Amino acid sequence: MTQYVSRLSRRAAQPRLRLPGGGRRPRRVAMLSVHTSPLHQPGTGDAGGMNVYIVELAKRLAAINVEVEIFTRATTGTLPPTVELAPGVLVRHVDAGPYEGLAKEELPAQLCAFTHGVMQAWAGHRPGHYDLVHSHYWLSGHVGWLAAQRWGVPLVHAMHTMAKVKNAALAEGDTPEPAARVIGETQVVDAADRLIANTSGEADELIRHYAADPGKVAVVHPGVNLDLFRVDADRPGLADPRAVPESRAAARHRLGLPQDALVPLFAGRIQPLKAPDVLLHAVAVLLEERPDLRSRLVVPVVGGPSGSGMAQPERLQKLAARLGICDVVWFRPPVGQEQLADWFRAASLLVMPSYSESFGLVAIEAQATGTPVLAARVGGLPVAVRDEVTGFLVDGHDPADYARRLARFADDPSLADRMGAAAARHAQSFGWDTAASGTADVYTAAVQEHRRHVRSHHG
């Protein structure tokens, strides 16, 4: 911690970077992630793409001299108050409510305690310690709104998911988001100086559903760690047509998967919203029509129960048994990022039949490893996946439609290679450096406008 403080003071002594138009990048940002810690394993509980997003964005912001302190709720009593995640990135654990067994739906009652913890940390610093607040998800937005007002700095907010959008596309039997969340989101949208949307589609939803001021909404695509998620082959580059199949063969050998198998992979949180059941039903339809494929079909489901899926953690296993496909489905627990990259490489395709996705980060991660994606045409997935080029987009959630696409991969083994090579090239434009640079530009604009507003108010 001492090293971190000395580095902070050294960096604070540096002149702030001036940008075109006289703007200055903020030196230090308070990033808020109330309901999920950037230190948690993605694919478990409420941890998913947002965790990856916060970790990667914070690291890349620090690399361009924007210090980041991430405030998150402490989930065990053994956690140290602060953890240095990377040079220039500090995670602060805030005590708010019981450490374990608190569902996301119960967190609104802990926002006062969390806000108190954030204010306590701030009180130990000189005035002006944070130049900006960046909150993630609506719960953090409420804390961010209060903190930004108290500190006299702008609030930048990222929704990640929206209640009105989720409720408009609920999976059968899934629980709708409560009215309190809708009201809370509306208040945060109104309070934020800037809103960051993952795609132009999400920007339109903010404006249409939440009456966001179009001038406050900025589109910044999330990125992917291209050093980790990559085609892993001895070939010189993505242009070599042999790179993808070689990478896939090596990954299958490491994971114990048959080399000639058709491997449609599901990787993510097990909950109705992500629709892994659609994949299982599609596999059942495919095998009914094509029983000859059973001997060369392996369907890995990599992830853990989450959200409303926690109520019936064995639901998917029971469905596989009912459909008579237990022999082809491999259930695997969530894995770390490096092993996840190997699962992506090993797969013939990634299947994402989600009912709602603000972006669908795993779609880009899979494509970066040379694996095509079969996805529902929802949310940000049409941006992440180029239909008929890097994978297929399906309208709706009819298992027969997914089964038809799976059959195409079964009948043409070179399809996964061709689409995979195009997918790997497509993913190259989604580096985190680009995302961090775009986010820093949003910060700069928010700080400039906030200062202008303060000056005119006091003028």
Q: What is the pLDDT of residues 117-133, one digit of tens each?
A: 999 989 888 889 999 99
Domain co-membership, 67 together with 106: yes
Cα-Cα-Cα-Cα dihedral of 41, 45, 49, 52, to 10°? -30
Residue 234 in domain: no
Annotated binding site for Mg(2+): 344-345, 347, 371
Domain co-membership, 155 together with 75: yes
Residue 57 in domain: yes
Structural domain that includes position 66: 2-6+16-223+432-458
Report if pTM > 0.85: no
Query: 115 is written with which tokens?
Result: 């806000």
CATH number at residue 66: 3.40.50.2000
What is the reported pLDDT for 459?
57
Q: What are the tens digits of pLDDT across the range 158-204?
A: 998 898 988 887 777 788 889 999 999 999 999 999 999 999 999 99
Domain co-membership, 296 together with 339: yes
**How many structural domains comprise the chain?**
2
Domain co-membership, 168 together with 106: yes
What is the reported pLDDT for 13?
35
Annotated binding site for UDP-N-acetyl-alpha-D-glucosamine: 41-42, 49, 269, 274, 335, 357, 365
Domain co-membership, 89 together with 194: yes
Residue whose entry in the numeric block shows the structure tokens 């709706």: 396
What is the reported pLDDT for 334?
87
**Which ranges of the chain have pLDDT less than 70?**
1-23, 41-48, 104, 306-313, 458-459
First to last CA, the chain: 41
What is the reported pLDDT for 19?
40
Domain co-membership, 423 together with 444: no
Annotated binding site: 35, 41-42, 46-51, 104, 137, 161, 181, 269, 274, 335, 344-345, 347, 357, 365, 371
Residue 268 in domain: yes
Annotated binding site for 1D-myo-inositol 3-phosphate: 35, 46-51, 104, 137, 161, 181
How many angstroms separate the CA atoms of 220 and 231, rounded? Answer: 25
Residue 113 in domain: yes
Domain co-membership, 137 together with 43: yes
What is the reported pLDDT for 22?
44
What is the reported pLDDT for 85?
93
